[in-house]
Amino acid sequence: MESAFLIVLLVLACVTVVGRYPLFATGGHRLVVTSRPVVSTPHFFVCTHDYEHADLLVVLAEIERMFTGTGMRARMVLADKPWNKAFNAVLNRNANALYTTVGTTRRIVEALSRESVFIFLYRANLGTGIHYVLREFTGPVYTMRITSRHAPIEDHSPSAALRRSTGALFYVRYAHYGLARLHDRVTARDGMQLVKDHLYPTRATHACPARPRSRLRVIASVDGRRDEEWQRTM
């Protein structure tokens, strides 16, 4: 009983520290940020997801910087998992979670009518929900690329994420996604490839980023099916 009480106290302490000092609490991450947009209306941010929990805390720190004092809020799209429910407890006053359950695409579009939304996209993600959001949302869209000199965590290992991210220097580069209107004319699969090509252009270093590219031709067809299946957003 005593050990359970101590565990509860430890969890509460971690939640408090992470919520107040997110970068310090995870090993003193340092950020170099390029082209951070000024947000005065709802924006849609599609973020890389190579560093597991570190990505969440980087985005949380950026939300704090962008939205504090503006009166605006943001949503982070997270998988409907117990550990993400716990993470929601550390989100600051400027952010809240939106979980990937039934009707995720519709709920994101609805949230974008009031507030900005940040969503993570794994390199191997097969979901198409982002494509359908881009077909509906007419506001500003940005990609948010989080990179480091450490290799990506390809097996989603928590221990590897901790080893590679503790005390690491992370680079955050924002880029306007100017292809949103093309999503009305391409299939869901091709639309997602457009997003991935823009988000993960090369493995080049941050100091010399590659220009976003696309291997796709614009196909004048419309995929009328609404694929609400959202596979492993987190």
Report the 3 state secondary structure along 91-149: CCCCEEEEEECCCHHHHHHHHHCCCEEEEEECCCCCCCHHHHHHHHCCCCEEEEEEECC
pLDDT value of position 177: 96
231 belongs to a structural domain = no
Q: How sure is the predictor about 29, in pLDDT bands with cuts at 50, 70 and 90?
A: low
CA distance linking residue 196 with residue 121, whole number of Å: 8
19 belongs to a structural domain = no
217 belongs to a structural domain = no
144 belongs to a structural domain = yes
Number of structural domains the chain divides into: 1
193 belongs to a structural domain = yes
* pLDDT of residue 53 exceeding 70: yes
CA distance linking residue 188 with residue 20, whole number of Å: 39
| Average pLDDT across the chain, whole number | 75
pLDDT value of position 217: 34
224 belongs to a structural domain = no
pLDDT value of position 165: 60
Report the pLDDT averaged over residues 42-53.
91
pTM greater than 0.75 (yes/no): no
214 belongs to a structural domain = no
Report the pLDDT averaged over residues 218-230.
33
For the chain, the 3-state helix, strand and coil shares in percent, each to the nearest 5, are 35, 20, 45
pLDDT over 70, % of the chain: 65
Report the pLDDT averaged over residues 176-204.
90
**Closest C-alpha among 136, 56, 43, 138 to residue 92:** 56
Per-residue pLDDT of 57-70, as tens digits, reads 899 889 989 998 88
Give the residue numbers spanning the domain of 195. 29-199
215 belongs to a structural domain = no
Q: How sure is the predictor about 135, in pLDDT bands with cuts at 50, 70 and 90?
A: very high
Q: How sure is the predictor about 221, in pLDDT bands with cuts at 50, 70 and 90?
A: very low
